[in-house]
Amino acid sequence: MLDKLLADAWLMTEVIVESGRPAVLADRRDTSLYQLFVQCVGRHPQHVAVRLRDEALTYTQLHAHAESMAARLLQLGVRPGDTVALSTVRSVQMVVGIWAILRIGGTYVPIDPALPPRRIQAILRESGARVCLTAAMIRVEDDDGELSELPPLGPPLAPAYVMYTSGSTGTPKGIAIAHHCVTRTVISPNYVAITPEDNVLQLVNYAFDGSVFDIFGALLNGATLVLSHHDDATNPERLASVIDEYAVTVALITTALFNAYVDIDPAIFAPLRKVLFGGERASAAHVNRALNRLGPGKLVNVYGPTEATVFTTTHTVDEPLDEVPIGKPLPDTRLYVLDSACRPTAAGVPGELYIGGEGIGYGYWRNPRLTSQRFVPEPDVPGALMFRSGDLVERSDDGELIYRGRIDDQIKLRGFRIEPGEIESRLQEHSLVKQCAVVVSGERLVAHYTGGRPVDDTELKDYLRETLPHYMIPDHLAYVAQLPLTPNGKIDRQRLAEQSATPGSRPCVRRMVGSEREEVMYRLFADVLHVPDVGPHECFSDMGGNSIVAMTLASRLTRAGYPVTAREILHHQTIDALLTEMSDLAGGGVDSGTFDAGGQPVVRLDGDVPRFLDESLAGNGRLIGGTPVVKEYALTAMQELQIGFDTAACFAMEPLRRPLDLPALRKAYGNLIAQHGLLRSMPIEGDDRHLWREHDYRAEDPPRIPIIDATNYAATDSALPALIEELSTRIYSGSQLLHQLAVVRVDGDQHLLAWIVSHVIFDQVSQEILSRHLIRHYDAVLQGRSPYTEAPSFEDYVHQLARGPRGLDVSDVVRTFRLEEFHRAKQSIKPMVATTGSLSATNFTIVVPLRSAWQKEHPLDVALGVHAKGLQSYLHMDELPLLFVTNGRQYENRRYYDTVGEFTDMVPMLVDARASVHAITQSIVERLELATRHNVNFLHLMLDPEAQAHWPDIGRLMDVGEDFADLDTLMFNFLGEVAELPADSLAETSWTAPHPLPIQTLLNGITAVCSDTLLCTFRTSCAVDVPRIRACFAHAAAELP
């Protein structure tokens, strides 16, 4: 019946008239993409094929690296026809990896490394991938070693790629696409002519099919593929810089991002020859606004499901429109518009779009049942299949197609294709959810669910994040007594969508607005999020905010005179946090008060401050230790290390940018201690390790805050630094409280908060958390409100580490982090450790001015580049066994950025200093992200007794020596970008001080970047040539491209 109806159906096809195209079509089924690439290499050998900032490869170089990597794949056991996963951020290595897989006749499976680990594992399992390549495994360098012999080039025998999208049955589905489908899309198409003069910008994530146009459209036509970093797409200044600096001429962008940029300034696209946009229904208002600014012929609306290879139809915008069509088909594409009975529809009558022709893929990978449902035989074309798109379209009188929506529940939102069934399936696996339905309301994804009782939104979202990508996490979760039904008993999704859009359905408690800045912030937040009002503590993401909305909000706030970036909005999330970050908190809106010690102990600056603090600490220890013990749990390996080393306490001092109210500050400090488990815990010795003993302190009796009175003290300028130096050498020992807060009174209106905290519970991030949370509690007490006090507990983190690596075995970790090579490189360094004894250490600084070109680069690129190239020159080593210090605060989907504690990890990194600066950074970032995704904490694997038993090779290959004597051979600790450097740090200095640890140190470097300056502070217990090290670093900085 279907065949008969289709035989009479209205058929829409493109007549092929392009010169030379018939010859291309005749043999393309027998020609692989790699063969076409080799032909392109022959035509344009020295033309730049791909670039990412200063890293670029010509066609000849890209071909050579692909061949080399292909040989390595053979050595890994990959054979023609195998699927090979590729999980990397956008990089030159990514492109090399794709061509290497295609070179040996394999099928590449792109996987976004930002996906939840469980989803990555599901894709790896479903795809049957033999190997998963990361950027760390793909080295872009000359290789003189012996390589496996590559098979001869021939016709393609396997799909070019399998790309996974959301699946309605609860698991992602893979779509297999043939080589000739890609050729049809990018070789001599009718919608854009790409030439060697073009620079094609890749903004689309390579795990989505839009990247197929970017990569193969550029590299099969002799053009240059310009890669961008992930954040470039949502940063107007950086995107404009990339377009300008690399003379970008062609770009594909999602419709949502296109609309956002049109709202900001469509002139950003002015330098481009063609701007293609698609992924969801186009907005005529935005298209017309862009057309008015850019002129005709530049804008192309593109449409096509992944199953039909990127694009099916296109429409070039030449005049203003009331409605933007999806256009006419690509060459060799046949379209049928049919009603529910598979009868052709007349012009102006909606029907389902069936797609046939050369762009139709093989079907769903390893899923014949689903393939047979959606890929049906095409009449009058023997052996051909056509794809039932599920898209509702209608044909205009002039033959253009207009998109009308879906015939099923599939959602296209913010450029992503989402199957609500997959979200619903996962949500219904939660023990407290009975039924659910996911709908789209405006720009928000809303999940309605039933069950015994409402479930905390955070709990449900965290549960979904374990398996679903970020764009499938509902913006809003609504508990309902029952789901509405249609007369035929199905869930009434239209009614749910209408309910979701009802104003006032979201509770909101807004605080009083006290300044023009606050008024603007509240108004613009509500405006861009399309909600009636916003509360100060409501999360931006929970209200439907995403990176594109953040970009729009950042632009509008900046234009209003309050500069902020999209990244800062996504980081801080709430208006309250943003205002705190942006504010000059002097005065803070808090009523002024007079100084009153209120019975708190006071000591003069010239008194016995250490003894005074000891007495106060003991008092607080008795106060908290007198409350019941609620739990005991083990210390982490890093904390055991700190206790074993008897490391000195951390001392930090900062101004209190509010009038001092001591009773309120004591109450705030008590609330802070109650909030963070480690602040009310004391270490005790267990049978074979230390344990935390956590007390049930609830701040009814506020702790003491000792006061150091420095008023009217003539030598304050010199005495305060002396006090800091003395307190910085204090050591906490035994079972006692490990932190203390004091107030330094400088004059009647000026006070400093002084923290003295044990390294066992304190790292760099903890300092910021303590300061921020204390002020929040202080403001809350003064204003009579209760702040949000929840945070992931440190015990949760201990249990997280105890889970061990997920989805990796020992060989995976050893291979990915190149631990065998790391070990060999470390052995070659050991003879250089000509020790002068570890009782003292030489400390010295290196100050490196940065050229203007590098002031615009990412600070980590600058720091790592100079560090690696400088050490390469000084040590005469190309591969450096660097121990990379990380904050260790995120593993799998758990984040601990609001929890006080010592989270530091030390990740072994074999750094190839011969690589480009960006390649060095990319390699390290890839490995750090892998450790995060798979729950790999190296100190835990190396030092925890239970982990050591299961992972003995990790400690052996990291080779920290007896009693950790060789732990600190080469270490890199990056503090990031700082607003300003102390004036006295701008001169290079050196000094000798007691070594803080009983170990040997070759070069332990702490690095920070401040606008035009790189500051490196080194510690060494060895006989090093400090002037030569400085010269090597200066030369490395001067040689940066």
* pLDDT surpasses 90 at 833: no
CATH of the domain at 837: 3.30.559
The span from the CA of 881 to the CA of 27, in Å, is 51
Provide the residue range defining the domain that includes 883: 800-1039
Within a domain: residue 848? yes
The answer on 766 and 871 residing in a single domain is no
Query: What pLDDT shows up at residue 359?
Result: 96
Within a domain: residue 835? yes
pLDDT tens digits for range 923-964: 999 999 999 999 999 999 998 888 988 899 998 999 888 777
CATH of the domain at 84: 3.40.50.980
With H, G, I as helix, E, B as strand and everything else as coil, classify residue 804: coil
Residue 417: what residue type?
R
Query: What pLDDT shows up at residue 828?
Result: 87
pLDDT tens digits for range 461-490: 889 988 898 889 998 898 988 888 877 777
The answer on 814 and 783 residing in a single domain is no
The span from the CA of 491 to the CA of 409, in Å, is 11
Question: Per-residue confidence at 29, pLDDT binned at 50, 70, 90?
Answer: confident
Query: What pLDDT shows up at residue 7?
Result: 42
Within a domain: residue 983? yes
Say which residues have a Cβ less than 8 Å from residue 258's Cβ, sequence separation at least 6. Answer: 275, 277, 286, 290
Which letter does DSSP use for residue 635 in this model? P
Question: Per-residue confidence at 595, pLDDT binned at 50, 70, 90?
Answer: very low
Query: What pLDDT shows up at residue 615?
Result: 83
Query: What pLDDT shows up at residue 163?
Result: 97
Dihedral sign computed on CA atoms, order 117, 123, 124, 126: positive
Least confident of 222-226, 616-620, 679-683, 805-809: 616-620
Q: Which of 122, 139, 158 is at the close of a domain?
A: 158
Q: What is the mean pLDDT of residues 973-990?
A: 71
The span from the CA of 745 to the CA of 810, in Å, is 55
CATH of the domain at 572: 1.10.1200.10
pLDDT tens digits for range 271-293: 999 999 998 999 999 999 999 99
Query: What pLDDT shows up at residue 146?
Result: 55
Question: Per-residue confidence at 676, pLDDT binned at 50, 70, 90?
Answer: very high
* pLDDT surpasses 80 at 36: yes
* pLDDT surpasses 50 at 526: yes
The answer on 913 and 813 residing in a single domain is yes
Highest mean pLDDT among 772-786, 811-825, 833-847: 811-825
Residue 878 — φ and ψ, nearest 5°?
A: -85, -30
> Among 479, 477, 492, which residue's Cα sits nearest to residue 452?
479
The span from the CA of 369 to the CA of 388, in Å, is 14
The answer on 904 and 781 residing in a single domain is no
* pLDDT surpasses 50 at 18: no
Q: Which of 791, 819, 844 is at the close of a domain?
A: 791
* pLDDT surpasses 70 at 187: yes
Within a domain: residue 338? no
Within a domain: residue 253? no
The answer on 847 and 968 residing in a single domain is yes
One-character DSSP codes across 698-743? -SSSPPP--EEE-TT-TTHHHHHHHHHHHHTT----SSS--EEEEE
The span from the CA of 917 to the CA of 762, in Å, is 32
* pLDDT surpasses 50 at 14: no
The answer on 637 and 681 residing in a single domain is yes
Query: What pLDDT shows up at residue 22?
Result: 40
Query: What pLDDT shows up at residue 621?
Result: 87
Query: What pLDDT shows up at residue 512?
Result: 52
Give the number of domains in the chain: 5
pLDDT tens digits for range 325-339: 999 999 999 999 998
Residue 852, judged by CB atoms within 10 A of its CB (0-12, 13-18, 19+), counts as exposed
- Residue corresponding to tokens 């200093």: 913
In 3-state terms the chain splits into helix, strand, coil percentages (rounded to 5) of: 40, 20, 40
* pLDDT surpasses 90 at 172: no
The answer on 1026 and 883 residing in a single domain is yes
The answer on 830 and 784 residing in a single domain is no
The answer on 636 and 528 residing in a single domain is no
Query: What pLDDT shows up at residue 266?
Result: 92
The residue ranking higher by pLDDT, 795 or 137, is 795
Rounded to two decimals, what is the model's pTM?
0.58
**What percent of the chain is modeled with pLDDT above 70?**
87
For the chain, the average pLDDT equals 85
pLDDT tens digits for range 229-264: 877 888 888 899 999 999 999 999 999 899 989 988
* pLDDT surpasses 50 at 9: no
Query: What pLDDT shows up at residue 855?
Result: 59
**Can you state the angle between helices 575-582 and 764-783, rounded to 10 degrees?**
110
The answer on 906 and 940 residing in a single domain is yes
Q: Which of 759, 791, 823 is at the close of a domain?
A: 791
* pLDDT surpasses 70 at 3: no
Q: What is the mean pLDDT of residues 602-610?
A: 75
Query: What pLDDT shows up at residue 13?
Result: 45
Within a domain: residue 139? yes
pLDDT tens digits for range 293-352: 999 999 999 999 999 999 999 999 999 999 999 999 999 999 999 988 888 999 899 999
Query: What pLDDT shows up at residue 109?
Result: 97
For residue 1010, the cross-strand partners are 1013
Dihedral sign computed on CA atoms, order 221, 223, 228, 232: negative
The answer on 809 and 725 residing in a single domain is no
* pLDDT surpasses 70 at 616: yes
> Among 714, 868, 892, which residue's Cα sits nearest to residue 800?
892
Query: What pLDDT shows up at residue 686?
Result: 80
Least confident of 85-89, 331-335, 718-722, 778-782: 718-722
* pLDDT surpasses 70 at 811: yes
Q: What is the mean pLDDT of residues 362-385?
A: 93
Query: What pLDDT shows up at residue 500?
Result: 66
Residue 883 — φ and ψ, nearest 5°?
A: -95, 115
Within a domain: residue 399? no
Query: What pLDDT shows up at residue 626?
Result: 86
pLDDT tens digits for range 538-593: 888 777 788 788 888 988 888 888 888 787 787 778 888 788 766 532 233 333 33
The answer on 981 and 858 residing in a single domain is yes
Say which residues have a Cβ less than 8 Å from residue 296's Cβ, sequence separation at least 6. Answer: 317, 318, 319
Query: What pLDDT shows up at residue 169?
Result: 67
Question: Per-residue confidence at 911, pLDDT binned at 50, 70, 90?
Answer: very high
* pLDDT surpasses 50 at 183: yes
CATH of the domain at 473: 3.30.300.30
Query: What pLDDT shows up at residue 397?
Result: 87
Query: What pLDDT shows up at residue 27?
Result: 61
Query: What pLDDT shows up at residue 16?
Result: 27
End-to-end, the C-alpha distance of the chain in Å comes to: 67
Within a domain: residue 446? yes
